[in-house]
């Protein structure tokens, strides 16, 4: 047994002073430092130092590692120019993305205190590095393909990738999962099969949804930039589904919808009623000209959301603190302290619940995944800790996964 203590601990009941945690792979006991020192005289004691805050390990629910080679190649400003640039540079970027680069990007996440991430994979190429890193990975095998002629073959390939992610060693900490690329890019027949598979196996399920105005226009009326795009690259001019039909396809399986920036109130209400959640990627949304997700509406609907980085195809870093700071600035009408608290919750307990993980909070029986943040000074009030953590942190000062000290 080991014992860790910091100046403050982020608990389900707020930031608490003078707590300690006894753990092995899991959190065994939480009590005052004095009590635990007495009860566990043989436990090795680690104090995280002045101005330290002990958090559960952070969770980035949505990232694409396979686009890690992009820095300046893709064009930002509008979804339309971005999508065109992806088509142009896609092969080049995928070619340039090797295991060394992807590994570096997982290390960047780890350095910012991310102990678990949800990796969306279209080819399965990331699985090898994901099995060799200390983090937990929810491995979202992505289903993509709007052309009915290829649907069976694509579904078969998807099943093979699912199998590969199921067959990893236990130590690899991989959770197999299902990702539906989007309403415009997946044939409804295979979409239904993939949702059924996720429901049967109780796998996490995610789908990009209503990211851009162009997507909305295409799904509503078959018009706009997607019409040009589909005519040019797929020789079709009709969408494979519409907004309502796509939403209904997920009724039986709580889904982590990515973006939803362009969802209307009634659509958000429907998603909330069915127990779904949202991954909010503020920097990606800003760079692709997609708009602002109205997180205040999610609060009214009691719909859980996470803050996630998305991939480097629409971002400049995978540092979760960069993303939290962007969210803090983007939602400028929200009270600062309250928003900061929500943001921290979104990458800890809310994210863990959404992905079905036994992590994300400092409670007995949870996995011993910890991220220690050291502030430059201690805020006057515990109410300010979440905000000051978001403002001042570039890197975690310590990271533990399954009780093992990684940083
Ligand atoms: C497809 O594979 O059908 C597809 C991929 C990306 C965008 C749109 C469609
Ligand atoms: Fe994404």
Q: 295 CA to middle of ligand 1, Å?
A: 28
Percentage of the chain beyond pLDDT 90 is 99
Q: What are phi and psi of 406, to 5 degrees?
A: -100, -40
- Does 373 have pLDDT greater than 90? yes
Q: What is the dihedral of CA 119, 88, 314, 82, to 10 degrees?
A: -130
Percentage of the chain beyond pLDDT 70 is 100
- Does 201 have pLDDT greater than 90? yes
Q: 93 CA to middle of ligand 1, Å?
A: 17
Average pLDDT over residues 295-303: 97
Average pLDDT over residues 402-407: 98
Residue 384: pLDDT band (50, 70, 90) is very high
Average pLDDT over residues 42-66: 98
Among 126, 142, 211, 215, which one carries the catalytic annotation? Answer: 211
Integer CA distances (angstroms), 230 to 220, 225, 294, 384, 396, in order: 15, 9, 30, 49, 44
Q: What is the pLDDT of residue 170?
A: 85
Q: What is the pLDDT of residue 146?
A: 96
Rounded distance, CA 97 to CA 313, Å? 12
Average pLDDT over residues 191-203: 98
Which ligand sits closest to the CA of 191?
1
Residue 60: pLDDT band (50, 70, 90) is very high
Q: What is the pLDDT of residue 50?
A: 98
Q: What is the pLDDT of residue 377?
A: 98
Q: What is the pLDDT of residue 318?
A: 98
Q: What is the pLDDT of residue 8?
A: 98
Q: Among this protein's residues, is 211 annotated catalytic?
A: yes
Residue 281: pLDDT band (50, 70, 90) is very high
Which ligand sits closest to the CA of 290?
2
Q: What is the pLDDT of residue 362?
A: 98
Q: What is the pLDDT of residue 210?
A: 99
Q: 339 CA to middle of ligand 1, Å?
A: 36
Structure tokens of 282? 């503020």
Average pLDDT over residues 195-215: 98
* pLDDT tens digits along 169-180: 988 899 999 999
The chain-wide mean pLDDT, for the chain, equals 98
Rounded distance, CA 154 to CA 357, Å? 29
- Per the CB < 8 A criterion, the answer to whether 260 and 210 are in contact is yes
Average pLDDT over residues 364-388: 98
Pocket of ligand 1 (CB under 6 A): 144-147, 184-185
- Residue with the smallest CA separation from ligand 1 atom 4 is 185
């Amino acid at each position: 047994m080991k014992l860790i203590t910091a100046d403050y601990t982020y608990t389900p009941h707020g930031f608490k002073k003078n707590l300690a945690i006894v753990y092995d792979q899991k959190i065994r006991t939480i009590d005052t430092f004095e009590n635990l020192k007495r009860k566990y005289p043989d436990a090795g004691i680690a104090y995280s130092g002045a101005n330290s805050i002990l958090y559960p390990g952070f969770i980035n629910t949505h990232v694409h590692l396979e686009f890690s080679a992009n820095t300046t190649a893709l064009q930002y400003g509008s979804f339309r120019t971005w999508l065109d640039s992806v088509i142009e540079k896609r092969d080049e970027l995928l070619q340039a993305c090797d295991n060394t680069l992807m590994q570096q990007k997982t290390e960047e996440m780890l350095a910012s205190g991310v102990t678990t991430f949800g990796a969306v994979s279209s080819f399965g190429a990331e699985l090898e590095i994901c099995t060799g890193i200390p983090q937990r990975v929810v491995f979202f095998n992505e289903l993509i393909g709007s052309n009915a002629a290829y649907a069976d073959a694509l579904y078969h390939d998807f099943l093979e990738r699912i199998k590969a992610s199921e067959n990893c060693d236990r130590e690899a900490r991989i959770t197999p999962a299902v990702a539906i690329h989007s309403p415009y890019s997946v044939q409804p027949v295979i979409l239904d099969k993939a949702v059924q598979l996720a429901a049967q196996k109780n796998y996490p399920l995610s789908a990009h949804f209503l990211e851009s105005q162009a997507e909305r226009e295409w799904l509503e009326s078959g018009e706009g930039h997607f019409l040009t795009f589909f005519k040019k690259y797929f020789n079709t001019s009709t969408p494979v589904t519409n907004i309502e039909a796509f939403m209904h396809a997920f009724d039986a399986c709580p889904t982590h919808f990515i973006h939803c920036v362009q969802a209307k109130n009634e659509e958000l209400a429907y998603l909330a009623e069915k127990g779904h959640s949202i991954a909010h990627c503020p920097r990606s949304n800003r760079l692709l000209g997609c708009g602002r997700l109205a997180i205040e509406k999610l609060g009214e609907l009691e719909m859980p959301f996470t803050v996630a980085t998305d991939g480097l195809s629409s971002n400049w870093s995978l540092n979760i603190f960069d993303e939290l700071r962007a969210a803090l600035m983007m939602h400028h009408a929200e009270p600062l302290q309250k928003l900061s608290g929500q943001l921290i919750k979104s990458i800890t307990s809310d994210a863990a619940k959404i992905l079905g993980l036994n992590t994300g909070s400092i409670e007995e029986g949870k996995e011993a995944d910890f991220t220690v943040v050291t502030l430059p000074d201690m805020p006057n009030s515990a109410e300010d800790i979440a905000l000051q953590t978001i403002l001042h942190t570039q890197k975690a000062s310590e990271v533990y996964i399954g009780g093992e000290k990684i940083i």
